[in-house]
């Protein structure tokens, strides 16, 4: 009699990995936060072994650093790392958006309009974390229908690798949020009017580059630079 092998459940190390990653990306565990294995294991209700495996995976992703005789901690923000990552994302996401444009539905575009309207409404009583989350959702709505799965995966992986750097640059570049919302409107108009792939790609590049330049010129050089700056492009 042949026995059917049961489908393995999500391993404890995977559960620990996703939980710790969530704590880092949400800001609950900020840069430099000490990741004590025994404490994490107690909170997760598991042994230290799967937590150690999870920390190893997150170290490979760059979200965590490990120092001998000190232990693991959340990686410190590195402005150069952020800049390099966004330069890559700019190229990938602009291409993905241009390929996705012909496949966007009216509902997709309406959703993007609603997200941008919510961003505009929040400009006066500004919450940079909420603005940043809406901004990420806006761009995802425009590139998610990219028909090239490998390109789409690469975009998502690059955003994921930013980890806790994905908070927002908008918190210390005060002029950029309003400019960004206006550029979103222009990008949506271009897509709805049937703009060519080249024009759409250039529009996304121009938009992303504008936020990156703001970060370079104002954020990274500011004496009050917030080391948890991130996404907001």
pTM above 0.85, yes or no: no
Number of domains into which the chain is organized: 2
The verdict on 109 and 45 lying in the same domain is no
62, pLDDT greater than 80: no
The predicted pLDDT at position 141 comes to 97
The predicted pLDDT at position 166 comes to 60
Q: Is residue 3 part of a domain?
A: no
On average, the pLDDT of the chain sits at 84
The verdict on 87 and 159 lying in the same domain is yes
Spell out the alpha helix ranges (H) of 27-162: 37-44, 48-61, 79-100, 106-121, 128-143, 149-162
Residue 94 sits in a domain whose CATH number is 1.20.120.530
Find the radius of gyration of the CA atoms of the chain: 20
Structure tokens at 190: 């271009």
Kindly state the average pLDDT of the residues 121-149: 91
The verdict on 153 and 108 lying in the same domain is yes
The verdict on 126 and 31 lying in the same domain is no
CA angle 215, 178, 82 (to 5 degrees): 20
Q: What is the pLDDT of residues 186-197, one digit of tens each?
A: 999 999 999 999
- Measured between alpha carbons, how far is 223 from 218 in angstroms, rounded to an integer? 10
Structure tokens at 71: 């232990």
The verdict on 186 and 107 lying in the same domain is yes
- The more confidently predicted of residues 107 and 218 is 107
Query: Considering 44, 59, 74, which residue would you say is the last residue of a domain?
Result: 74
- The more confidently predicted of residues 77 and 127 is 127
The verdict on 106 and 140 lying in the same domain is yes
Domain around 209: 79-219
Residue 25 sits in a domain whose CATH number is 1.10.10.10
Cβ contact 212:169 at 8 Å: no
Beta-bridged to residue 64, according to DSSP, are: 74
Q: Is residue 226 part of a domain?
A: no
What DSSP state is assigned to residue 165?
G
Q: What is the pLDDT of residues 172-211, one digit of tens each?
A: 566 789 999 999 999 999 999 999 999 999 999 999 999 8
- Count the alpha carbons within 13 Å of 99 in the hemisphere toward its beta carbon: 16
Cβ contact 23:29 at 8 Å: yes
The predicted pLDDT at position 229 comes to 36
Query: Considering 74, 100, 123, which residue would you say is the last residue of a domain?
Result: 74
The predicted pLDDT at position 132 comes to 85
């Amino acid at each position: 009699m042949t026995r059917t092998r049961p489908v393995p459940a999500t391993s404890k190390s995977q559960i620990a990995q996703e939980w710790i990653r969530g704590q880092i990306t949400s800001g609950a565990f900020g840069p430099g936060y000490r990741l004590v294995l025994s404490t994490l294991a107690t909170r997760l209700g598991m042994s230290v072994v799967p937590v150690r495996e999870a920390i190893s995976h997150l170290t490979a992703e760059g979200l965590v650093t490990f120092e001998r005789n000190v232990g693991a901690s959340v990686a410190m923000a590195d402005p150069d790392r952020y800049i390099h990552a966004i330069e890559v994302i700019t190229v990938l996401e602009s291409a993905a958006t241009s390929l996705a444009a012909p496949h966007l539905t009216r509902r997709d575009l309406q959703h993007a309009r609603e997200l941008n309207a919510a961003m505009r409404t929040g400009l006066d009583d500004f919450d940079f974390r909420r603005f940043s989350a809406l901004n990420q959702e806006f761009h995802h709505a425009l590139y998610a229908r990219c028909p090239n799965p490998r390109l789409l995966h690469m975009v998502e992986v690059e955003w994921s690798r930013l980890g806790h750097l994905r908070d927002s640059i908008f918190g210390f570049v005060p002029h950029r949020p309003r400019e960004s919302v206006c550029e979103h409107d222009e990008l949506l108009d271009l897509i709805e009017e049937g703009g060519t792939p080249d024009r759409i790609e250039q529009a996304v590049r121009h938009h992303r580059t504008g936020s990156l330049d703001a970060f370079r010129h104002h954020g990274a050089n500011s004496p009050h630079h917030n080391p948890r700056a991130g996404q907001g492009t």
